A and B are shown apart, each in its own frame.
Chain A
Amino acid sequence: MEAEILALEGVVGGYGKLTVLNGTTFKVARDTITTVIGPNGAGKSTLFKAVFGLLPVQRGRIVFDGADITNLDPHALLERGITYVPQGRNVFPELSVLHNLELGMTAAGPGAPVAARIQSVMQRFPMLREKARAQASTLSGGQQKLLEIARALLLEPRLMLIDEPSIGLSPRLVQEVFRILQDLRSRGVSILMIEQNAKRALEISDFGVVLELGATRMQGAARDLLVDPRVGQLFLGGGTL
Chain B
Amino acid sequence: MMKKLAILVAAVALIAAPFGLKPYGIYLLSLWAVMTIAAIGLNLTLGYAGQISLAQGSFVGIGAYIAALLTTQGWPLGLAFAAAIVLCFAIGWLLGYPALRVAHHYLAFVTLSFATLVFLVLRNEEWLTKGVYGISGIPRPTLAGWSTKAPLDFYFFCLLILALVAAAAGWMIRSPWGRAFTALRENPIRASSLGVDTRRYTLMAFAIGSALGGIAGVLYAPLVQFIEPTAFALGLSLNLLLMVIVGGAGRFFGPFLGAAVSVLLPEWLRFSEGLYLMLYAVFVMLLLAFCPSGLLGLGARARKSWKPSSKSAN
Q: Which A residues form the contact surface with B (CB < 8 A)?
A: 52, 54, 74-75, 78-79, 84, 86, 90, 92-95, 99, 102-104, 106-107, 137-138, 140-142, 151, 168-170, 173
Instruction: Sample 20 A-B pairs with CB under 8 A, ordered by A number.
Output: A52-B193, A74-B193, A74-B195, A84-B193, A86-B189, A92-B182, A92-B186, A93-B186, A95-B179, A102-B176, A103-B176, A103-B180, A103-B183, A103-B194, A104-B194, A137-B311, A138-B310, A140-B314, A142-B314, A169-B314
The residues of B that contact A168 with a CB separation of less than 8 Å are 314
B312 in the interface, Cβ–Cβ < 8 Å?
Answer: yes
Residue contact A86 to B314, C-beta cutoff 8 Å:
no
Partner of A138, one of B176, B182, B311: B311
Q: How far is the CB of A111 from chain B (nearest CB, A)?
A: 13
CB-CB < 8 A to A107: which residues of B? Answer: 194-195
Contact of A106 among B180, B187, B309, B311 (CB under 8 A): B180
B197 within 8 A of A: yes
Taking a contact as CB atoms under 8 Å apart, the answer to whether A92 and B195 are in contact is no
Question: In B157-194, which residues have CB < 8 Å from any A CB?
Answer: 176, 179-180, 182-183, 186-187, 189-194
* Smallest Cβ-Cβ distance to A173: which chain B residue: B314
Give bound CA distance, A128 to B134, whole Å. 59
Taken together as a complex, chains A and B put the C-alpha atoms of A170 and B183 apart, in Å, by 28
Q: How distant is the Cα of A164 from the Cα of B185 in the complex, in angstroms?
A: 24
Q: Which residue of B lies closest to A169 (CB)?
A: B314
Contacts A93-B186, A94-B250, A140-B312 supplied; 12 other A-B pairs, CB < 8 Å: A74-B193, A74-B195, A75-B197, A78-B195, A86-B190, A92-B187, A92-B190, A95-B183, A102-B176, A103-B179, A151-B194, A169-B314
A173 to B191 CA separation, bound complex (whole angstroms): 25
Chain A positions within 8 Å of B310 at CB level: 138
Q: For residue A137, which residues in chain B have a CB less than 8 angstroms away from its CB? A: 311
A106 near B194: Cβ-Cβ < 8 Å: yes
Query: Interface on B for A, CB 8 Å cutoff?
Result: 176, 179-180, 182-183, 186-187, 189-197, 250, 309-314
Which of A79, A103, A104 has the most C-beta atoms of chain B within 10 angstroms of its own C-beta? A103
Q: Residue A94 contacts which of B176, B186, B309, B313 (CB distance < 8 angstroms)?
A: B186
Question: Which residues of chain A are within 8 angstroms of B312 by Cβ–Cβ distance?
Answer: 140
Of chain A, the residue at the smallest CB distance from B196 is A106
Nearest A residue to B184 by beta-carbon distance? A92
Nearest CB in chain B: distance from A94 CB, A: 6
* Distance in Å: Cβ of B200 to nearest Cβ of chain A: 10
A75 to B201, CA, bound (A): 14
Residues of A close to B197: CB separation below 8 A: 75
Structural contact, B193 and A86, CB atoms closer than 8 A: yes
Minimum CB distance partner of B174 in chain A: A99
Q: Give every chain A residue within 8 A of B195 (Cβ-Cβ).
A: 74-75, 78-79, 106-107
> What separation, in Å, do the CA atoms of A173 and B313 have in the docked complex?
12
Q: How far is the CA of A173 from the CA of B183 in the complex (A)?
A: 27
User: Which of A74, A93, A104, A141 is close to B192, meaning CB atoms less than 8 Å apart?
Assistant: A74
A95 contacts B182, CB within 8 Å? yes
Task: Given A92-B182, A92-B183, A95-B182, check contact A54 B193 (CB 8 Å).
Answer: yes
Least CB distance from A165 to B in Å reads 14
B313 close to A140 (CB less than 8 A): yes
Closest 4 CB pairs of A and B: A107-B195, A78-B195, A141-B314, A75-B195
Task: Tell me if B179 and A102 are in contact (CB < 8 A).
Answer: yes
**A99–B179 touching, CB < 8 Å:** yes
A170–B192 Cα distance when bound, in Å, is 28
Task: Establish whether residues B180 and A90, one from each chain, have CB atoms under 8 Å apart when the complex forms.
Answer: no
Most buried by A among B176, B180, B193, B309: B193
Q: Which residues of chain A are near B190, meaning CB under 8 Å?
A: 86, 90, 92
Residues of B within 8 A of A95 (CB): 179, 182-183, 186
